[in-house]
A and B are shown apart, each in its own frame.
Chain A
Amino acid sequence: EVQLVESGGGLVQPGGSLRLSCAASGFTFSSFEMNWVRQAPGKGLEWVAYISASGSSIYYADSVKGRFIISRDNTKNSLYLQMNSLRVEDTAVYYCATESGYDRFEYWGHGTLVPVSS
C-alpha cells in the first residue's frame, strides 16, 4: 500500500524557518517525481514545488522561490521542504504528492499544518 506521511509542521514566527518531511513507503520512491502542494485555511490548492526522480530538476512557485528549498533522499525514501523567511501568508496545510505517468498527482499524503504567526 502506498503511503506518504508528512511531518515537521507546527507554529512558527514570521521570519522563521521550518523543515517539512514526507516519508514514502509502498512504492519505488526513487522512480517517482514529487511535489509539494499547499492549502491555506479555507482556500484552494496551490502548487509549491517539484523535484524530479533523481533530484536533478527542480521548480518552484514564484511565491516561494528564493525562500523554500525542495530536496529528496532516495536512500531514505524521503522528500523534504526547507522553508525559510516564513511569512504569515505561508500559513497552510502542506501536502506531498507523487507525480507519475501523464504527470498525474496520483498519491497524496494527509498533510501537515504550518501556522505562521507571532
Chain B
Amino acid sequence: AIQMTQSPSSLSASVGDRVTITCRASQDIRTDLSWYQQKPGKAPKLLVYDASRLQSGVPSRFTGSGSGTDFTLTISSLQPEDFATYYCLQDYSFPRTFGQGTRLEIK
C-alpha cells in the first residue's frame, strides 16, 4: 500500500498568515492526490483534486501543488473559518490512503 506522510501534524497560526501543509507519497502517484478540510463533528470537505485543481466554490486562497511524491496545500491568508484539520488522499491505486492529518489551530 502507498503510504502518505503528512506534515506537520499540527500547526499554530494567526489570521492573515500564509501556511503550507505537505504530503509525501511513498511512491510516484503522478497528480492523483486530493485535499480535504474537516471541522469537528462534520464530514470532510473536498478542497483540491488532481493535486492542483480547486473544487468549485472553494476560495482561491487555497492552492494545491506538486506531482510525483511531493505535494503541498497552501492557504495564502488564513481566515477564521480555515482553522480545521486537513487531510491528503492518494487515489492513484487501491487501497486508497489518507495522510494522518494536520490540525491547524489559532495562535
* Chain A residue with the shortest CB-CB distance to B51: A102
Task: Please provide the chain A residues from 84 to 108 with a CB less than 8 Å away from any CB of chain B in the complex.
Answer: 95, 97, 99, 102-106, 108
Is B95 touching A105 in the complex (CB atoms < 8 A)? Answer: no
Q: Which residues of A contact B101 (CB under 8 A)?
A: 44-45
Is A45 touching B43 in the complex (CB atoms < 8 A)? Answer: no
* Chain A residue with the shortest CB-CB distance to B43: A108
Kindly specify which of B18-26, B69-77, B86-94 makes contact with the partner chain: B86-94
Task: Summarize A's interface: helix, strand, loop or mixed.
Answer: strand
Q: Is A61 an interface residue (CB 8 A)?
A: yes
**Contact A108:B44 (CB < 8 A) given known A45-B87, A103-B32:** yes
Q: Is A59 an interface residue (CB 8 A)?
A: yes
A50 to B43, CA, bound (A): 18
Is A44 touching B100 in the complex (CB atoms < 8 A)? Answer: yes
Question: Once A and B bind, how many residue pairs between them come within 8 Å at the CB atom?
Answer: 61
**Contact A110:B43 (CB < 8 A) given known A104-B55, A105-B34:** yes
Is B44 touching A105 in the complex (CB atoms < 8 A)? Answer: yes
Is A102 touching B55 in the complex (CB atoms < 8 A)? Answer: no
Least distance between B35 CB and chain A CB atoms (Å)? 10
Name the contact of A50 in the complex, choosing from B49, B89, B96, B99 (C-beta under 8 A). B96
Is A105 touching B32 in the complex (CB atoms < 8 A)? Answer: no
A84 to B43, CA, bound (A): 25
* 19 pairs from A and B in contact (CB 8 Å cutoff): A44-B98, A44-B99, A44-B101, A45-B36, A45-B38, A45-B98, A47-B96, A97-B44, A102-B34, A102-B50, A103-B49, A103-B91, A104-B46, A104-B55, A104-B91, A105-B44, A105-B89, A108-B43, A108-B44
Enumerate chain A interface residues (CB-CB to B < 8 A): 35, 37, 44-47, 50, 59-62, 95, 97, 99, 102-106, 108-111
A-B contacts besides A59-B95, A104-B91, 7 pairs, CB < 8 Å:
A44-B87, A44-B99, A45-B44, A45-B98, A60-B95, A104-B46, A109-B43
Enumerate chain B interface residues (CB-CB to A < 8 A): 1, 32, 34, 36, 38, 42-46, 49-50, 53, 55, 87, 89, 91, 94-101
